[in-house]
Structure 1
Amino acid sequence: MDPKKKAITAAVVGTALGVGGLVVVAMPASAGDAPKLPQVSAEDLVQSVATAKPVPFDGTVTVSNDLGLPKMATGAIPGASALGVDSAQVFSDGAGKTKVSLTKGQAQETIIHNGNTVWDYDSKTNSATKTTVPADVATKHKAAEGAEGKGADPSTAAKELLAKVRESSNVAVDGTATVADRPAYELVLTPKPSERTLLREIRVAIDSQTRMPLRLSVLSNGTTSPALELAFSKIEFADQSPDLFAFTPPKGAKVTEKQAKIDERDKALANEAKQATKVVGDGWDTVVTGKVPADLMKQKQAQGEQKGPDVQKMLSRFAKRVNGPWGSGYLFTTKVGGAVLTDDGRFAAGAVPEQVLYEALGAK
């Protein structure tokens, strides 16, 4: 099998990659003749996606990516480790309960979100963590989503992208397609001429019956195949058994129980980052700028042992050294975007040419 076409359940969320900080990857649709469906306008199709009610389903999510990420970067960039997942199965009851099974080599991780309880089980270590999320924490911080990015699917990713770039795009319906054996409309968004972006178009295959996005493809300039594509290869819309969302640890498993809470130090770091973060531009040429908290830029030491990554050493291995009126730092690029991290901890990221990143660093 082509190594680029691996299965995954997650949308990778990180400011270093993609439109407005969202990067997603996935797979080609099933082959076959384009299905015949009633005509629909682009505006009506977009509106129907936004207003569609969630429905119960189970599906397999597959991934194809041609980002051009350095091999070691997938272990160093937040969220990018999801690119190493081999297969995934996603279950949803349509009312908030979810189960995600991720396979990587011989190991499997299972994440179940049932009400205010989140189970995370790792077969490799035969260990499970049960997290109870107090109602106030879940409401204010959506902490019940579990591990970073692992609850997302093509539908979630597509809806977020539609909301982000709709107003700065030319939107059209470009025929139909068959995805996961389902007839779907092909919605295409292309940037308006005023947009400065590395992306050529975003294609969303929308289920003709449920209006649920089944496939999301991101194409960059100068390429004929998607740089990123996230999709269902199989999906069934049907009520799910409540037993799917209950978890009993296997015999001998080490179980850790904890209650989700807001760590004051983490809260302070988050507030510091939020206050220093701003958005330059909008739509396709959005650039997120800010400053990484000083604590995160430092290599942590404890009792002579390294407790955190050596950021400078890590960057020097897969990023290019750059400088300009804005200062000096490292430039990281992929086919769909890039990011600059300066020596003093400032950053700029977006799906734009590097010059636009530099301009954003200097914006007041």
Structure 2
Amino acid sequence: MKRRSVVLTATAGTAAGVLGLTVLALPAGAGAAPELPPVAAEQLVESVMRADPPALTGTVSVDNALGLPALPGGEASQLLADGTNRFQVWADGQGRHRVSVPSHGGELTVVDDGTTAWKWDSGEQTATRTQHPERAGHGAPADPAATARGIIGELRKTSEVSVDGTASVAGRDAYELVLTPKPTERTLLRQVRVAVDAEKRVPLELSVLTNGSADPALKIGFTSLDMTAPDPGLFRFEPPAGAKVEDGSRQAPDPGDHAVPEHQVVGEGWDSTLVTKVPESPELRQIAERTGKPVSGPWGNGWIIGTAAGNALLTSDGRVAVGAVPEQVLVAALGEVR
């Protein structure tokens, strides 16, 4: 995750990138709290940032209570819908990954061997290959351990950091790291809690709490986890016979051919706001008109779509500002970007 990236916004196809105010959160681990040696908060944070990514096989549960409207898009949009969804992840600790997500028509699988990534849609019988693994995961959820580490890195400088006891997560002992926004931060969020593996120092759970509620807005994390090395064959992919094979590298927009501008980030930490432009989507506009609040200003007119965890402002000309912030912060950010 880039340092200036908006860590509280996730992309699930174009629409979810606009409306997905997806603060990743996990429930507290079940079972009795283990007894662990005391650790200082900054020491725990530093150990998380220095930890090597482990080999792992895990099941991840996404429990969404944001109350977002039904979003157009693929499997990641499905994960943003209210309710509980699960997917599988594998990693070898050396940069190779595999993610498998159930879909309406079958299963979406992303296999990244470190140089080439494949996206296999079993329902459509389509395999998409790209030499840019950082783009190949578009439409697939991230490893929650890597996501949590990125969030910690982004928020630590604008937070009060503490350790609040221990937990047992997916059968592993963990410390409960807590990040609370400093009083100067303009955010709808109250607290981020991260369960950090006591041995490997990798995040196992991440829980984000909003103002006015004791329950997490969105939950994501490991429900089962094995940190032994997976079969290397899992990180190799050959398209099945009869599959349609596409070149994902060629699907990237040509800069001279109405390309969507790269996003800009206004602010940092808890009140970061992503401002970008999205391709024209009648379906997305219908959702905004049906569920959003009409707003207008010097920047034009549009619609605010809000949840307890954040807001999105979609303009009539296709611009969007999104973040875990109050409406006025989005409006100000939109005015800063030309």
Residues 99 and 244 in structure 1, CA contact (< 8 A), matched pair in contact too:
yes
2:7 maps to 1:34:
no
2:289 maps to 1:316:
yes
Q: Which has the larger radius of gyration?
A: 1
Residues 177 and 186 in structure 1, CA contact (< 8 A), matched pair in contact too:
yes
Indicate the larger mover: 38-47 or 317-326.
Answer: 317-326
Match for residue 348 of structure 1?
A: 321
Match for residue 214 of structure 2?
A: 224
SS in 2 for 1:356: helix
SS in 1 for 2:249: coil
Please, what TM-score do these two structures have when normalized by structure 1? 0.79
Match for residue 272 of structure 2?
A: 286
Q: CA deviation at 1:194?
A: 0.8
SS in 2 for 1:267: coil
The whole-number CA distance in structure 1 between the counterparts of 2:100 and 2:160 is 37
Match for residue 129 of structure 1?
A: 127
Indicate the larger mover: 259-268 or 310-319.
Answer: 259-268
Match for residue 170 of structure 2?
A: 180
Q: CA deviation at 1:287?
A: 1.9
The whole-number CA distance in structure 1 between the counterparts of 2:74 and 2:188 is 20
The whole-number CA distance in structure 2 between the counterparts of 1:214 and 1:270 is 41
1:162 corresponds, among 152, 157, 161, to: 152
Q: CA deviation at 1:264?
A: 7.2
Matched to 1:273, the amino acid is P
Matched to 1:289, the amino acid is V
Residues 253 and 259 in structure 2, CA contact (< 8 A), matched pair in contact too:
no
In the comparison of the two structures, how many residue pairs are matched?
A: 322
* Superposed counterparts of 1:252-267, under 5 Å: 253-262=241-250, 265-267=253-255
Moved over 6 A (4+): none
Match for residue 43 of structure 2?
A: 44
* 1:143-192 deviation line (CA, Å, top 9, x unaligned): 4x523152512111111111211111000011101110100000000100
The whole-number CA distance in structure 2 between the counterparts of 1:43 and 1:217 is 19
* 1:294-325 deviation line (CA, Å, top 9, x unaligned): xx23xxxxxxxxxx545433321222212234
Matched to 2:204, the amino acid is L
* Superposed counterparts of 1:57-96, under 5 Å: 57-70=56-69, 72-73=70-71, 75=72, 79-83=76-80, 86-96=85-95
SS in 1 for 2:334: helix
Structure 2 unaligned spans of 5+: 1-8, 12-16
Q: CA deviation at 1:110?
A: 2.1
SS in 2 for 1:62: strand
The whole-number CA distance in structure 1 between the counterparts of 2:164 and 2:258 is 42
Change (3 A) 1:162 1:216: same
Matched to 1:12, the amino acid is A
Residues 303 and 315 in structure 2, CA contact (< 8 A), matched pair in contact too:
yes
Q: CA deviation at 1:61?
A: 0.2
Structure 1 unaligned spans of 5+: 1-10, 298-307
RMSD: 2.7
The whole-number CA distance in structure 2 between the counterparts of 1:356 and 1:29 is 31
